[in-house]
A and B are shown apart, each in its own frame.
Chain A
Amino acid sequence: ELKVEQNPLFLSMQEGKNYTIYCNYSTTSDRLYWYRQDPGKSLESLFVLLSNGAVKQEGRLMASLDTKARLSTLHITAAVHDLSATYFCAGTQGGSEKLVFGKGMKLTVNP
């Protein structure tokens, strides 16, 4: 059974700083997803990572996937307040279309 673990679960950082957050998963995952959720809102898709070595970037966020290490990272560059949100990673397993979510990381970017 796929398990997805994120760390840290809470992060407070200053604007302009860089940071990397981690998503480990327990067994082979077909695909790895990153989502953003603002308070009281639904989930917004950020990245879909399909293969080993995949790297995707959008603005100040860059996601990567290492299937051998069963690890995905989300790197934040020069954080701004607007990035404050909860970030979830999720994976699928064994051809299933069901998403298994990590617990989420609540990011607060302070001016």
Chain B
Amino acid sequence: SAVISQKPSRDICQRGTSLTIQCQVDSQVTMMFWYRQQPGQSLTLIATANQGSEATYESGFVIDKFPISRPNLTFSTLTVSNMSPEDSSIYLCSVAGTEVRSGGYTFGSGTRLTVV
């Protein structure tokens, strides 16, 4: 299965600033997904990122707040913009590739964001 390197693993940020999270995959994958996990909660999908096209955002998430880049088939970034304490969460990327129907999805190690 794919291996994902996600950076940073954690950060403490001031409100009003932005943070960019990176995910690097060791193989080419068609789709990458970005999730948010608020404290003690389940995972909520933010958006799906395909290479060469605009990301598709889920209800409640907008591009201005969470811009995503997908420059190639092994890399994606998620930016959390104009942060407020409510953005404090764990952010995870995930990939689906040729193994998705048999091997499941792979998740990055997560970025624990605290906004103060």
Instruction: Show the binding face of A for B, using Cβ within 8 Å.
Output: 31, 33, 40-43, 45, 48, 50, 88, 90, 97-104
Task: Kindly state the separation between the CA atoms of A33 and B106 in the bound complex, as whole angstroms.
Answer: 12
Is the beta-carbon distance between A98 and B94 smaller than 8 angstroms?
no
Main secondary structure of the interface of A (DSSP, over half): loop
Interface size class of B (residues with CB under 8 A): 20 to 34
A42 touches B101 (CB 8 A): no
Q: Which residues of B contact A (CB under 8 A)?
A: 1, 31, 33, 41-45, 48, 92, 94, 96, 100-110, 112
Task: Decide: A42 near B108, CB < 8 A? Known: A97-B31, A98-B33.
Answer: yes
Across the interface, which residues of B come within 8 angstroms of A104, CB to CB? 42
What are some 14 contacts across the A-B interface (CB < 8 A)? A33-B105, A41-B109, A42-B109, A43-B43, A43-B107, A45-B1, A45-B104, A50-B101, A97-B48, A99-B43, A99-B45, A100-B45, A101-B44, A103-B41
